[in-house]
């Protein structure tokens, strides 16, 4: 029986039994089935691309948000605009549910630092 998790970095004797647990592909993908392992590797390429994009967009957003804050404060304005933050929280909640709210809170924090 396959277990839920595989640690691709584990030494062969630490790996769970099932499929081909000693194969390198199994260690990387969590399955001993070569067709499934190949498909998983393909999908992971796209996942890695998406993650790189998310990280770049996250960093760009944080920099822009910091620039807005600095521009506003230099002009005598407030550091934050809570009505705008509420709009953003609502946008993410509507699109993604409760996880969206948590994500938006992290995005907002990245732009202005912890309160
Ligand atoms: C970037 C701004 O400043 C702050 C940061 C926000 C953000 O990261 O989206 C939103 C509202 C402000 O509290 C803004 O007013 O647009």
pLDDT by residue (tens digit) across 87-105? 999 999 999 999 999 999 9
18-73 per-position pLDDT tens digit: 455 568 888 899 999 999 999 999 999 999 999 999 999 999 999 999 999 999 99
The binding-site residues of ligand 1, defined as CB within 6 angstroms of any ligand atom, are 65, 68-69, 80-81, 84-85, 88, 108, 111-112
Please tell me the pTM assigned to this model: 0.82
Res 21: pLDDT: 58
52 CB-side CA count, 13 A: 5
- Token readout for 8 is 């691709």
Residue 17: count other Cβ atoms within 10 Å of its Cβ. Answer: 10
Res 72: pLDDT: 95
Tell how far the Cα of 47 is from the centroid of ligand 1, in angstroms. Answer: 29
Q: Residues near 31 by Cβ (< 8 Å), separated by ≥ 6?
A: 2, 19, 37, 40
């Amino acid at each position: 029986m396959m277990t839920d998790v595989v640690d691709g970095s584990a030494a062969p004797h630490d790996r769970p039994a099932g499929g081909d647990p000693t194969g390198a592909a199994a260690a990387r993908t969590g399955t001993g089935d070569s067709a499934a392992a190949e498909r998983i590797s393909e999908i992971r390429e796209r996942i890695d691309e998406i993650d790189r994009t998310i990280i770049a967009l996250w960093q760009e957003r944080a920099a822009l948000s910091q620039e807005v804050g600095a521009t506003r404060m230099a002009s005598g304005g407030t550091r934050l605009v809570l009505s705008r933050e509420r709009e953003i929280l609502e946008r993410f909640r509507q699109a993604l549910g409760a996880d969206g709210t948590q994500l938006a809170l992290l995005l907002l924090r990245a732009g202005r630092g912890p309160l």
